[in-house]
Structure 1
Amino acid sequence: MTNLERFYRSVHGRDLQPWERQLAVRIAAALNTTTDDDFVVHLLLVYMSTNAITNMYNELVAARNTLAEDNRDLIQTFTKDLRRNRLMTYGLLGVVALSVLGGAWTLGTVVNLSYGAAANEARLAAALEACEQRNAGRGPRGAEIGR
């Protein structure tokens, strides 16, 4: 196993592919050295990194352009639909406003009912207490009839 193969396996976790080996041989021939030379190994790795970065950049640019075009199409479609359905849009906004008002009215009613129930409970407790005090001052009812 050559220095290039060992280094490539430790970096990429796999063997050199035939086209990568051929590229290393070409680089070594251009530099008038062997593929075991460290400089050849580093040049090959730099080439592979640069190539991967360039490919990723091109994919990102293509995705960005596609996304921008789709967004433009979506905005145009939404604008056309909004113009076409303006009356429906105003109607739905009115329904939303009425729903919010109805919810507020319901909440107010529930709060008032809870306050009213608390007041009625207090009145009932006071009335029961007054009845108990009146009944405590008198004797039992059956005893008065028999006298």
Structure 2
Amino acid sequence: MTNLERFYRSVHGRDLQPWERQLAVRIAAALNTTTDDDFVVHLLLVYMSTNAITNMYNELVAARNRLAEDNQDLIRALTADLRRNRLMSYVLLGVAALGVLVSAGILGTVLSLSHGSAASATRIAAALEACGQRGAADTPRGFGIGR
């Protein structure tokens, strides 16, 4: 086992993958050294770290973009709900105003009927009283009961 394989196994907990081994060979060839050189191991580690950081950054950017799109969708849905709710609020206020007007009309009708029945009761009482007075005047004096 080479120095690179030992170091890689201790850092990552697995063996080198074929593409990682090829990368180490290319780095060693570019530096005109072997893959056992510590500098090659460190350069491969830096490359892998940079690659991981780049992948994480790309994932974060993608997540941010998805969040921005979702926020736009949420804003559109909220705006539509507010418009619908505003319209619904106006409709409900109109229904409430109509209910108040209808209630006022019913109350007016009840009051007018109440005044009409009170007037009718007064007229009936006056008519009964007039009938009673007329009846008392027409009755012969000898026929009065209780006199």
Bin the TM-score by the shorter chain.
Answer: 0.5 to 0.7
Instruction: Report the alpha carbon displacement of residue 73 of structure 1 after superposing the two structures with TM.
Output: 1.2
SS of the aligned residue for 2:23 comes to: helix
Deviations, residues 23-60 of structure 1 (Å, cap 9, x unaligned) = 00000000000000000000000000000000000000
Identity %: 91
Amino acid at match of 2:32: N
Deviation >2 Å, runs of 4+: 87-92
Equivalent residues, number:
92
Pair 1:82–1:4, CA change in 2 (3 A): same
Deviations, residues 94-113 of structure 1 (Å, cap 9, x unaligned) = xxxxxxxxxxxxxxxxxxxx
Note the 1:47-126 alignment, pairs <5 A: 47-89=47-89
Deviations, residues 101-142 of structure 1 (Å, cap 9, x unaligned) = xxxxxxxxxxxxxxxxxxxxxxxxxxxxxxxxxxxxxxxxxx
TM, length-normalised to structure 2: 0.59
- Equivalent-residue separation in structure 2 for 1:28 and 1:89 (angstroms): 74
Computing the radius of gyration from Cα coordinates, the structure with the larger value is 2
Instruction: Report the alpha carbon displacement of residue 88 of structure 1 after superposing the two structures with TM.
Output: 3.3
Q: Is the 8 A contact 1:25 1:35 kept in 2?
A: yes
Pair 1:11–1:90, CA change in 2 (3 A): farther
- Equivalent-residue separation in structure 2 for 1:89 and 1:74 (angstroms): 21
Instruction: Report the alpha carbon displacement of residue 87 of structure 1 after superposing the two structures with TM.
Output: 4.2
- Equivalent-residue separation in structure 1 for 2:46 and 2:9 (angstroms): 15
Structure 1: 5+ residue runs without aligned partners? 93-147
Amino acid at match of 1:75: I
SS of the aligned residue for 1:36 comes to: coil
